[in-house]
Amino acid sequence: MLKTSLCLLSVAVSACAIADENSKNKYSVDQLEHVIVSGSRIFESIDEVPASITVINQQQIQQHLKVNPELSSLLAQMVPGLAPSTGSSSNSGQTLRGRAPLVMIDGVPQSTPLRNGSLGIKTLDASAIARIEVIKGATSIYGNGAAGGIINYITKQAKSDGQPEGEISISSRFSAVKLDESAGARISAAINGGLDKFSYLISASYEQNGVQRDSKGDILGLQYGLSDSETQNYFTKLSYDFDDDKQLEFSYNFYSSQQKTDLGDVTGDGNIGEKTYAIHVPKELQKPGKPQGPEGNVNITLKYLDYALFDNTQMTLDLYKQNIENVFFFSTNLANLDDGYSGGQSVIKSDKLGARATFNSQFDFDNLTTTLIYGIDALNDKTSQPLVDGRIWVPEMNMDSVAGFLQTKWVINDDIILKAGVRKESIDLTVADYQTLKLCRTATQCSVPLSVRGDTINYDATTYNAGIKYNLSPAFSPFFSYSQGSDISDIGILLRAATVNDIALIQTQASIIDNYEVGFTSQFDDLRFELAAYKSTSELGTSNKFNDVTGVYEPIRAPQKIWGFEGLVNYAITPQLKLVATYSYVEGKDTQADEYLGAKQISPPKATANLAWQASDDIALTFSYLYVGDRKRFDKNEQGQYVGDQGPVSSYDIVNLSGQYQITPQWSSYFGVENLFNSDYYPARAQSYTYGGYNIKGLGTTATLGAKYQF
């Protein structure tokens, strides 16, 4: 802790530039659509990035919000390489190129990599987001947890010019199969303005879901369910311009989303095709404990920017603090009848205090522009996973991290881009003495509690990246990149399943992921192609295997290889009709056992299409299509059942429709229909996860009606 505290004091604040539409940079408003900040922590043109990236703009966010307010659904539809949406509050199994992504808000990590509960995607309401930047492939540019890449939510910016402006939106979402109890309500509002050197943005949203129903009208099962959930988000951004080059910014985000219901599950057997669904039950049959979901997660960020620290150098400093409490569902797998526990409910708690300082220096020579990006990061992360009843499942892990980095970029003759970088990271992870829990799946199938001696584990890693892109012509711009990521994610799952009595004997070593990617972009007038192939390897991955004796899924550290390819077509058919289509394929193996990896990492093939039609000045329609293919890599066990995350996935497809009518310059109405043709299907995760309660059908036809007022 001392090392991190000294670093926090020395840097005072952290560096993660965000996409500020009003900031003093070399890009115009129109060009900002082609600018990102997540890949190297400074503003740079997409054409100068030798890697696959996806940017989801404000218009695309608003279009999808009419159909489904969940960000996991939006990302699955728009990002090639990201697994299909789970249709729930959990993004378990929704990996990016077969590995876990690091989810961020304006560069502040929302994921809890030390105990990855796969809830990071659901951390902010879409109404507060200006754009989303997705950088694919292992990277260490933001530190631990980005084995699969980065998903960065760039929030809306406070405006310092003109009169205050704002908007209010109200809508209802309901099942078109069976209306009974399904109608929900949503309201969001925002105001944005400025006075002299001060500017502000305040937004709030509140949503109350009704019950969610499948294509037969049955209520969806409750495991990570969204029926009867209540979601609140309050976001504020305040900014003060000292002069044209210096700015201080403060932001605050509060997010909660909890399921408060009187329903109970009727659990089916996925191995014989029985779905799990929910019904109204007496209080004594309802799941005990607290409502599941984020209980009230808070992010506070203070940022200072100086666009002209020296003639050729910019500086960004920021300090962030975060408190997360994600509550899981009550599970009988956490039972210990000997001590009076019929089950249990866990909570992932994470408190982060971080600081980053980034400097950006640019030098111009004849036919050569050189950019140096360098700085220091510091983070203290305290994460644990206790049970609501007071038992400790995962002890507190206290991580201190300090890292220095240097990223270089050379642009030669405006068409050859070379990048190379290095990051040196030092991590101390402290765990006190603890005892593993006795957990019983049945009366005779129990884990054995073990006293484990704690310690401080030291990790020192140096990771590198290099890439080249040649903008030969608009018709062909090839690139190649190599990047490494240092990952100590999900140490908590190793600790809670310990089978030795000393933490030093647990395989907690960091994974170094080597990521290779080759691809190209092509632009022909109104038609754009993107194609990339990739491979990532790691000497230590983390999968799991079911122990028939103890009833516990035990972690396995084994080498892994993941590979795949993806493509995107963006075609402006006419000025009013635009098409975006994607395809992605990923596969992976445990190379030591020569066995395919399960669905927690590897998703089936996926294709999407989005057709936006501006029918007139006042009418806009959007059609979206999702296809998920087969993946059947595993056989049944001796008892004739699929186990773990090895269930076979059969293909399915979904069509959505949304539209908007501009009634007046201030008033507009809109609608959205999810699963337009009422397909009867199980989402990919529901098919592949054989764990109890996951075999839940997808949403049947669900409609949204709403109106928006802008002033």
Query: How high is the pLDDT of residue 22?
Result: 37
Cα torsion through 211, 217, 220, 226, rounded to 10: -30
* CA quadruple 277, 282, 284, 287: dihedral, nearest 10: 30
Cα separation, 516 vs 297, in Å, equals 35
Confidence of residue 24 (pLDDT cuts 50, 70, 90): very low
For residue 255, list its beta bridge partners: 233, 297
| Nearest C-alpha neighbor of 104 from the set 3, 304, 293, 253 | 253
Percentage of the chain beyond pLDDT 90 is 77
d(CA 417, CA 368): 10
Counting Cβ atoms within 10 Å, is residue 473 exposed (0-12), middle (13-18) or buried (19+)?
A: exposed
What separation in angstroms does the CA of 30 have from each of 21, 45, 397?
A: 10, 12, 45
Distance from C-alpha of 414 to C-alpha of 46, rounded to nearest angstrom: 13
For the ranges 22-26, 133-137, 673-677, the lowest mean pLDDT is seen at 22-26
Structure tokens at 371: 């950019």
pLDDT band for position 33 (cuts 50, 70, 90): low
- Point out the least confidently predicted range of 160-164, 447-451, 652-656: 160-164
- Residues 143, 124 contacting (CB under 8 angstroms): no
Six token digits for residue 255: 């997010």
Confidence of residue 62 (pLDDT cuts 50, 70, 90): very high
Q: Give the pLDDT of residue 495.
A: 93
The mean per-residue pLDDT over the stretch 204-229 comes to 96
Q: Is the pLDDT of residue 35 over 90?
A: no
* Predicted confidence (pLDDT) per residue in 453-486, tens digit: 999 999 999 999 999 999 999 999 999 999 999 8
Angstrom distance (rounded) from CA 224 to CA 265: 12
Residue type, 346: S
CA R_g for the chain:
25
- Work out the angle between the directed axes of helices 58-65 and 71-78 (0-180°, nearest 10): 120
Per mean pLDDT, which range of 241-255, 264-278, 531-545 is the poorest?
Answer: 531-545
**Separation CA 327–CA 119 (nearest Å):** 10
Domain range holding 211?
2-710
Alpha-carbon distances of 633 from 123, 270, 545, 650, 689, rounded to whole Å: 33, 17, 16, 12, 13
- Tokens 């990223």 belong to 407
CA atoms within 13 A on the CB side of 708: 20
540 CB neighbour count, 10 Å cutoff? 17
Give, rounded to a whole angstrom, the gap between the first and last alpha carbons of the chain: 49
In the prediction, which pLDDT does 196 show? 87
Q: What is the mean pLDDT of residues 498-508?
A: 87
Cβ partners under 8 Å of residue 345, min gap 6: 288, 289, 290, 292, 327, 328, 329, 330, 331, 334, 387, 388, 389
Residue 335, pLDDT > 70, answer yes
Q: Report how far apart, in Å, the C-alpha atoms of 646 and of each of 267, 535, 695 are.
A: 19, 22, 13
Q: How confident is the model at residue 2 (pLDDT cuts 50, 70, 90)?
A: very low
Are 674 and 211 in contact by the 8 Å Cβ rule? The answer is no
What is the reported pLDDT for 17?
38
What's the number of domains the chain is made of?
Answer: 1
**pLDDT per position as a tens digit, 525-563:** 999 999 999 999 998 876 667 666 666 666 778 899 999
Q: Are 191 and 155 in contact (CB under 8 A)?
A: no
Whether the per-residue pLDDT at 439 is higher than 80: the answer is yes
Q: How far apart are CA 56 and CA 51, in angstroms?
A: 16
Is pLDDT at 8 greater than 50 in this prediction?
no
**Cβ atoms within 10 Å, residue 197:** 13
Of 366 and 605, more confident: 605
Determine the Cα–Cα distance for residues 154 and 288; give it in Å rounded to an integer.
Answer: 37
pLDDT digits (tens, 9 = 90+) for 316-333: 999 999 999 999 999 998
Length in residues, the chain: 711
Question: What number is the average pLDDT over the span 377-404?
Answer: 96
Q: Spell out the residues 6+ positions from residue 539 whose beta carbon is closer than 8 angstroms to its own.
A: 511, 512, 559
Tokens of 61: 């966010």
Q: Is the pLDDT of residue 20 over 50?
A: no
Q: Using pLDDT thresholds of 50, 70 and 90, give the confidence band for residue 144.
A: confident
CATH assignment at residue 218: 2.40.170.20
Residue 194 C-beta-side C-alpha neighbours within 13 Å: 16
Contact 448, 438 (CB under 8 A): yes
In this predicted structure, what is the pLDDT of residue 601? 95
Q: Which two tokens stand for residue 69?
A: 């307010």
Report the pLDDT averaged over residues 83-101: 93
Which residue in 339, 258, 357 sits closest to 13, CA to CA? 357
- Kindly report, residue by residue over 284-309, the tens digit of the pLDDT: 888 888 999 999 999 999 999 999 99
Predicted TM-score (pTM) of this structure: 0.92
Token pair for 172: 């209802």
3-state secondary structure 16-47: CCCCCCCCCCCCCCCHHHHEECCCCCCCEEHH
Alpha-carbon separation of residue 674 from 74, 230, 394, 495, 662 (angstroms) = 12, 20, 39, 41, 22
For residues 341-359, average pLDDT: 95
Question: Which of 23-32, 153-162, 379-388, 443-452 bottoms out in mean pLDDT, i.e. has the lowest?
Answer: 23-32
Q: How confident is the model at residue 7 (pLDDT cuts 50, 70, 90)?
A: very low
Which one, of 533, 411, 480, lies nearest residue 48 by Cα? 411
Give the integer Cα–Cα distance in Å for 672 and 63. Answer: 9
Minimum mean pLDDT range among 217-226, 447-456, 552-561: 552-561
Give percent of the chain above pLDDT 70: 93
634 phi and psi, to 5 degrees? Answer: -125, 155
Q: Are 60 and 67 in contact (CB under 8 A)?
A: no
The rounded mean pLDDT for the chain is 91
CA-CA distance, 578 to 601, in Å (whole number)?
33
Which amino acid makes up residue 142? Answer: Y
Report angle CA 283, 284, 286 to the nearest 5 degrees.
65
Query: Quick one: DSSP state of residue 699?
Result: P
- pLDDT surpasses 60 at 654: yes
Distance CA 84, CA 91 (A): 9
Q: What is the mean pLDDT of residues 19-34?
A: 48
Q: What sign has the CA pseudo-torsion 623, 706, 120, 2?
A: positive
* Element containing residue 347 per DSSP (H, E): strand 347-365
Separation between Cα atoms, residue 332 and residue 335, nearest integer Å: 5
Q: In the predicted model, is pLDDT for residue 450 greater than 80?
A: yes
